[in-house]
Amino acid sequence: MTYQFKDNPLPILVSARIRITDAQRKKLKEAYYKRRNSIQPSESTGTGGLVIATSYGGINELDNQLGFSNLVFSDLVNSRDSFNINLALKLQSVLDVELVTKQTLLDACKSYIDYIFYKTDNS
């Protein structure tokens, strides 16, 4: 289903952020660096024992897919308590690591709605 937001905006906007577990952080980092390292040049040994190591500091395919650099990824995964659901879904899609499911998001929204109305009704 495609929703035409420009022509038919939603009447209520709901913003969401997620908190990830330490295990999810670890999986994200492993998936990210595995992908990143697979596209970076590697070390090779030539005849005579000469070792040539190259590095790649520019933007690569992974950075393009995610829309940010290694520095931003590191900041997000290592130092943020929570981040936007859209970013979580992007990481999930590109890195193939499950962070949130549609059902867990629906459950969280329902709990939040129950909380808001409980708080309002009991003020």
Residue 38 pLDDT: 82
* pLDDT score of 79: 93
Would residue 34 count as lying in a domain? yes
Whether 62 contacts 55, CB under 8 Å: no
> Which pLDDT score, from 0 to 100, does residue 88 have?
94
pLDDT of 66 reads 93
- Looking at the structure of the chain, the number of domains it has is 1
In a domain, 10, yes or no: no
Structural domain includes residue 122: no
pLDDT in tens, the chain (123 residues): 566 767 787 788 888 999 999 999 999 999 999 998 887 665 566 666 776 665 555 567 888 899 999 999 999 999 999 999 999 999 999 999 999 999 999 999 999 999 999 888 887
Look up the domain containing 59 and give its range: 17-117
Neighbours of 101 (CB within 10 A): 10
Report the distance separating Cα 77 and Cα 28, nearest Å. 8
pTM: 0.73
Q: Which run of H or of E encompasses 45? A: strand 44-45
Residue 68 domain flag: yes
Of 77, 81, 63, the residue nearest 28 (C-alpha): 77
Residue 35 inside a domain? The answer is: yes
Residue type present at position 108: A
